A = this chain, B = another copy of it.
């Protein structure tokens, strides 16, 4: 493996220059005489030379790699990890590569996963996404951020941990307005208990703002069941129907809950959107697969990923970062098609 490796010295030999010059040419740093530059580049090409990143990382004591941590809840398995995060993970990987960064991925729950990638010198810092229910993990990252480790998160900001989020209040209000527009007059809001997860509180607030502006009655129900979001939606919907509340519209603050609610509505023989219209939040792919397909606020994943990466780079280098909310887009589908 190592025996066959071509190093900068080989290139230097072929080009008849010193190894330092090879390094300078290939990094395009200081000025190099044009003819020498050409000679070195040719030699490098001829030998198929690619600089060893481990060596240059060690020398520069930086890694140009991001440790991407996906938090998942022990209540869910990896299989039921919210697809919002798995998809976002893919986009982050692409966005980071586009900026010349490699991405080390690790899953982490309260019980599993270590946080040592940066301490071991394998990454420059962390991008953290995933379930915000996991207070223990978030606290660990907050502590790291206090210690000066670059940490950028999705969803939850705190003192030193800079995070971005969707324009939750406005987007939720837009979705609820849409329900009103298609004729809903008794709209309930289903949501996980916000707890540390700010986004849910904000989406509920968006719902409330519309209800109050329109003088309509608020019906907000939270789920505390320690299961995955889908089951939370299923159970919560049944509970609301059991209460005997009259309903013609549902706003779920997360798509998985909306999908769970849809199942419950079917189990009760209620037609969607005929008797009850339904709208979710996130824009996960599965909302297109259901029957009927579900209207939702689609988050702009590529934009979120790019922002996380550019903010990561900003935090690492002490530059300014942009923490403004990333706008989502209401996508109207069958579940509100009247």
Contact = CB atoms under 8 A, between A and B. Distances in A.
A91 B105 CA distance: 11
Contacts of A102: 104, 106, 117, 122
Given A54-B54, A79-B285, A106-B93, A2 B122 contact: no
A116 B61 contact: no
A289 B54 contact: no
B230 A53 contact: no
Interface string A270-288: 0000000000000001101
Contacts of A288: 230
Most buried by B among A70, A87, A114: A87
A51 interface: yes
Contacts of A117: 102
Contacts of A61: 1-2, 5
B81 A90 contact: yes
Interface stretch (A20-28, A177-185, A186-194, A258-266): A258-266
A78 B106 contact: no
Quick one: copies of this chain in the complex? 2
A291 B289 contact: no
Interface string A138-161: 000000000010000000000000
A256 to B, nearest CB: 8
A55 interface: yes
Contacts of A219: none
Given A54-B63, A285-B79, A285-B80, A107 B122 contact: no
24 contacts: A1-B148, A53-B121, A54-B58, A54-B121, A54-B122, A55-B58, A72-B90, A79-B87, A81-B87, A81-B90, A83-B285, A86-B86, A86-B87, A86-B90, A89-B105, A90-B107, A93-B107, A97-B113, A97-B114, A102-B117, A104-B104, A230-B289, A262-B291, A263-B289
